[in-house]
Amino acid sequence: MAGRTIVITGGSDGIGAEAARQVARTGQDRLILVGRSAEKTASVAREVGADHVVADFTRLGDVRRLATDIRQRTDRVDVLANNAGGVFGERTVTEDGNEKTFQVNLLAPFLLTHLLLDLLRAGTGIVVNTSSASAKIVGKVDIDDLNHEKTYTPMRAYADAKLANILFARGLHARYHPLGINAVAFDPGNVRTGFGAENNDLLTRLLYRTPLSRLALIPPEKGGANLAYFLTGTPGVDWEPGRFYAQQRPATPRQTNRQVNDDILVDRFWNRAALLAGAKD
């Protein structure tokens, strides 16, 4: 599928930037890159010949402005890659009243997707959520403590948010697939990037910063290729909407958190996330 408009959040570095480079090589699609750093986002956009928009996902007002900006640039969005995210240090509450990790990784993309639904329906309607293996390893969604007011560790907050990304994709599929929206979530693999630069907890150091762990990490080019696979593929042919993937393969039960298949939880989570994000149907 070519000639599409593809929006990639987290497009200024890491797998977002790598995916943009790989998609841009065909010269067939229009790219809109979204990043927090004006300098880095503009640099990658120049490199790949893309449009770019700067947005800070710690502010939901910025997400609304981003959606307005995208509307001014295009009348359709064929693919939305909800790829922006991060793991942070001590617990911080945003000006919107949400825990920072949960807002950046889940609420902001949830709101952006909601605000662009009509543009997605005008296009091919693909929504790709970047998750993580941590969703299986330590993730647990607690509907009554999504903002981690009871307990908080940086990696647990990140893992919970990445598990929530999968629930978000499943909820989006359940509600909007009949209207032409094709949602999927995937784990790109443990990628060798600057991930977790703001976090110094033990689990992050063990997973990403020891000599042994670095040997197990995949290069950014591979992680970017895994994202590009979903951005350029055809739903129902190359991948199945509503599913969770480990890199480019359907995740096995051993790779999937049990909460992913809890339809009641998916529905409850959707309603709570919509309330916290201010995304009303």
**77-94 pLDDT tens trace:** 999 999 999 999 999 999
* pLDDT of 279: 94
Mean pLDDT of all residues in the chain?
Answer: 92
Number of neighbouring beta carbons within 10 Å of residue 150: 8
CA 16 to chain centre: 10
Would you say 127 and 176 are in contact if contact means Cβ atoms under 8 Å apart?
Answer: no
Average pLDDT over residues 109-135: 97
Greater confidence (203 vs 141) lies with: 141
For residue 140, what is the domain's CATH number? 3.40.50.720
Length of the chain: 281
Task: Give the integer Cα–Cα distance in Å for 60 and 275.
Answer: 13
Q: State the pLDDT at residue 209.
A: 53
Question: What is the tens place of the pLDDT at every residue in 16-74?
Answer: 999 999 999 999 999 999 999 999 999 999 999 999 999 999 999 999 999 999 999 99
Stretch (H or E) spanning 35: strand 30-35
DSSP 127-192: EEEE--THHHHT----GGGTT-SS---HHHHHHHHHHHHHHHHHHHHHHHGGGT-EEEEEE--SB-
Q: Where in the sequence numbering do the catalytic residues fall?
A: 158
Q: Is the pLDDT of residue 113 over 80?
A: yes
- Per-residue pLDDT at 212: 52
Q: Using an 8 Å Cβ cutoff, are 204 and 196 in contact?
A: yes
pLDDT, position 254: 94
Q: Which two tokens stand for residue 190?
A: 């443990």
Residue 235 pairs in a beta bridge with: 239
Dump pLDDT digits (tens) for 202-256. Answer: 555 555 555 555 666 768 899 999 999 999 999 999 999 999 999 999 999 999 9
pLDDT over threshold 80, residue 165: yes
Nearest to residue 5, comparing CAs of 117, 153, 124?
124
Do 141 and 165 contact (CB within 8 A), yes or no? no
Distance of CA 98 to the CA centre of its chain: 18
CB 245 within 8 A of CB 166: no
Range of the domain at 117: 5-277
Query: What is the spatial distance between Cα 27 and Cα 65, in angstroms, rounded to a whole number?
Result: 28
- Is the CB of residue 10 less than 8 Å from the CB of residue 84? yes
Number of domains in the chain: 1
Give the confidence band of 8 by pLDDT, cuts at 50, 70, 90.
very high
